[in-house]
Amino acid sequence: MLRTCSILLLAASIGTTGFGAVVPVPAEIIPERIPGAKPRSVVFILSDDHRYDAMSFMGHQFARTPVMDSMAANGVHLKNAFVTTSLCSPSRASILTGLYTFRHRVIDNNRPIPSGTVYFPQYLQKAGYATAFMGKWHMGGASDDPQPGFDHWVSFRGQGNYLPPGPNYTLNVDGKRVKQKGYITDELTDYAVDWLKQQKPAEKPFFLYFSHKAVHAN
């Protein structure tokens, strides 16, 4: 099943050799550098369960999205994009691997992604990028452990919670249990901003995969 989605691009340019392959490519293989090309730092933001037209610049009746409006005005809006599997976890796996569902094996929202799967940030690490993952992983609900391809990691199990359901509810921060303090959208954003402030793109390009729980219904 194809599902319509919107994609916003703002000053993001990166080589994607091998992303669309139908078989996994070993992480040891590095796409060739283009002579004279300057590496670009990239921030990839994924909102969850978000209708493709639920943005004010698309004429939505009540949604107000000033930052997305600015991105559309100053960047590129791909308004006729599609995902091949209209489920949460399979789509996440396809984004990170460049593979169709029958290749990466995440066929529903409960199945964990197979061990040894290669994610595109592993290529970025090989190319000298600092990498980070913040937010919802949700490929198997039982684990939020750090995954290959990311130098820094902040995540939670399964769907997570907008607010901590109890005083001992935790996030996984680089493999350590750290208590969730408050509203997860704000907290993840704080983690992301803190990490970005530490980066020195003139010396080392960076890639941030920022996977919000919002605007999911629960």
**Rounded to whole angstroms, how far apart are CA atoms 181 and 68?**
27
Q: DSSP string covering the chain, please?
A: --EEEEEEESS-----TTTT-SS---TT--PPPPTTPPPPPEEEEE-SS--TT-SGGGT-SS---HHHHHHHHHSEEEEEEEESS-SHHHHHHHHHH---HHHH---SSSPPPPTT---HHHHHHHTT-EEEEEEE--SSTT-----TT-SEEEEESTT--SS-SSTT-EEEETTEEEE--S-HHHHHHHHHHHHHHH--TTTS-EEEEEE--TT---
Q: Which residues are catalytic?
A: 88, 138
